[in-house]
Amino acid sequence: MVARPLTTPLSSPTATFTAPTAIKLGSKAAIQAENMTLTGNIVQTDTSSSSLSLSQKSTLTGRVDALSSTLSLDETSQWNMTDPSTVGNLTNDGGITLSNASGSTGTLLTVDKTLTLQDGSQINATLDTANSSPIIKAANVTLDGTLNLSSTATFVAPETDEHFGSVTLIDSQTAITTDFDSVTLDADTSAMPDYLTINAGVDANDNTNYELSTGLSWYAGANSARAAHGTFTVDADSTFTVTSELDETTANSNWNGSKLTKQGDGTLILSNTGNDYGDTEIDGGILAAKDAAALGTGDVTIAESATLELSQGTLDNNVTGEGQIVKSGSDELIVTGDNTYSGGTTITGGILAAKDAASLGSGDVDIAENAKLELSQGTLDNNVTGEGQIVKSGSDELIVTGANDYSGGTTISGGTLIADHADSLGTGAVANSGVLQVGEGELENTLSGTGSLVKTGTGETDVKRR
């Protein structure tokens, strides 16, 4: 059957129209297409408000150019769009496939007034890297049903959440307050690490846009490519930086919504000091943060061969496990927790300060040149090495028991430093403004300052002159 102009109400069951222009709409025509097959374009011939309703397994294959008309599809009908189309109003409870045979990089479907997607709606679209405009534009939008997306684009993992990309799928002139029941994405995401996901939803910064965007799996929602979780697996020789806040979120069957787990041999950097999540587990590689406040509020567990690297702030989390802490940078890091980690402590720069030596765990302590370990009280039974120095501050007693060979010297700015054996003082000079108590051994360190030297115990102490 050839194309025909329709200017009067018409109910046309079980018919086929095949032509470059399958139907011409005009003069407020109201067409009820029941079990019809329309192959060709739908064109409006005037500016009147005509309508085309597809029902009872009707199929339309072609372009629609009907700015003032209304198109509706029931749950059994399909529209296979071949080229960018325009319609006045669109109500869909069936299936619409947005195709782009012309290779256009612009909008595929423009709805001049209202787009209404109902519960049975299926919108199918293929995204191309050349898409520079929203695939759908409308004055008003109501979303429901399912959005099925596919793409041949290759996913490239960013090195920071500041470089997340997004594509605007739907652009409305008014706020979008509804959502699809589900969104599916058929794409190669094999290069997407577990801590990233693809999200579909209303733009948080502009509620007139519906977007497809890269995001953290931590905050994955109902229409995300994967369920929310707190694991960051960073591969060896790779680094990922999180600049946004990581706060406690809704739990699911596989995650409590608050625990961060670092896996892989690469480096995860937390740069936001406002994080309010719970525990941290470092199973491999390095978890680094300039400020200790980035670690949230819970306990920290460091597995063997894993590293927690911090530069400044106050680490008041309790730290356990067989891994190590590295103090980097030139600032001061204060450690206050009741810590039992056993992998050791490395101070590459600045000051690591702890009121109680017990906060250093049980492993060796290595202090780099020009770096400092500052302690106030407790018993330092860790072995201390390196070219840096120890500073005894405060008015309390600090007991040093390790077989230490650090060479940067010891400063006693207050209180009492007790060394059961002179070897515990390392090889550097001792500047004493408090009290130094030594039990036994050969005290070969150069002594200076206004403080006092006290010999304790029954053993012999040999003080070498300098």
State the Cα torsion 283-288-289-292 to the nearest 10°.
Answer: 50
In a domain, residue 224? The reply is: no
In a domain, residue 26? The reply is: yes
Structural domains in the chain (count): 2
Residue 264 and residue 118 share a domain: no
Q: How would residue 457 be classed by pLDDT, with cut points 50, 70 and 90?
A: low
**Cα separation, 309 vs 325, whole angstroms:** 6
Q: How would residue 347 be classed by pLDDT, with cut points 50, 70 and 90?
A: very high
Residue 424 and residue 329 share a domain: yes
98-105 average pLDDT score: 66
Task: Output the CA–CA distances (angstroms, integers) from residue 309 to 30, 414, 440, in the order listed.
Answer: 70, 29, 37
pLDDT digits (tens, 9 = 90+) for 48-63: 888 999 999 999 999 9
State the Cα torsion 379-381-387-392 to the nearest 10°.
Answer: 10
2-26 average pLDDT score: 60
In a 13 Å sphere around the CA of 406, the CA atoms on its Cβ side amount to 33
282-305 average pLDDT score: 98
Q: Which residue, chain included where needed, has tokens 């299936």?
A: 95
**Cα separation, 294 vs 246, whole angstroms:** 9
Q: Which residue, chain included where needed, has tokens 């018993």?
A: 379
Residue 286 and residue 201 share a domain: no
Among the candidates 218, 248, 266, a domain finishes at: 218
Among the candidates 218, 251, 286, a domain finishes at: 218
The percentage of the chain sitting over the pLDDT mark of 70, rounded to a whole number, equals: 91
Q: What is the pTM of this model?
A: 0.88
In a domain, residue 43? The reply is: yes
Residue 268 in this model has a pLDDT that exceeds 60: yes
Residue 202 and residue 272 share a domain: no
pLDDT at 24: 78
Residue 418 and residue 369 share a domain: yes
Question: Secondary structure of the chain in the HEC alphabet?
Answer: CCCEEECCCEEEECCEEEEEEEEEECCCCEEEEECCEEEEEEEECCCCCCEEEEECCCEEECCEEEEEEEEEECCCCEEEECCCEEEEEEEECCEEEECCCCCCCCCCEEEEEEEEECCCCEEEEEECCCCCCCCEEEEEEECCCEEEEEECCCCCCCCEHHHCCEEEEEEECCCCCCCCCEEEEECCCCCCCCCEEEEEEEECCEEEEEEEEEEEHHHCCCCECCCCCCEEECCCCCEEEECCCCECCCCECCECCCCEEEECCCEEEECCCCCECCCEEECCCEEEEEEHHHHCCCCEEECCCCEEEEEEEEECCCEEECCEEEECCCCEEEECCCCCCCCCEEECCCEEEEEEHHHHCCCCEEECCCCEEEEEEEEECCCEEECCEEEECCCCEEEECCCCCCCCCEEECCCEEEEEEHHHHCCCCEEECCEEEEEEEEECCCEECCCEEEECCCCCEEECCC
Distance, C-alpha 313 to centroid of its chain: 23
pLDDT at 9: 45
| Strands 51-55, 64-73: pairing kind | parallel
pLDDT at 141: 99
In a domain, residue 223? The reply is: no
Residue 428 in this model has a pLDDT that exceeds 50: yes
Residue 8 in this model has a pLDDT that exceeds 50: no
Residue 140 and residue 29 share a domain: yes
Residue 361 and residue 397 share a domain: yes
pLDDT at 27: 67
Q: What number of residues does the chain have? A: 466
Q: How would residue 71 be classed by pLDDT, with cut points 50, 70 and 90?
A: very high
In a domain, residue 326? The reply is: yes
In a domain, residue 226? The reply is: no
In a domain, residue 182? The reply is: yes
176-205 average pLDDT score: 94
Name the token pair of 114: 């209202």
Residue 334 and residue 429 share a domain: yes
Residue 266 and residue 169 share a domain: no
- The residue segments making up the domain with residue 257 are 231-463
pLDDT digits (tens, 9 = 90+) for 144-157: 999 999 988 888 88
Residue 270 and residue 194 share a domain: no
What residues does 437 pair with on adjacent strands? 418, 454
Residue 189 and residue 261 share a domain: no
Residue 281 and residue 156 share a domain: no
Residue 26 in this model has a pLDDT that exceeds 80: no
Among the candidates 152, 187, 218, a domain finishes at: 218
308 near 328, Cβ under 8 Å?
no
Average pLDDT, the chain: 92
pLDDT at 217: 98
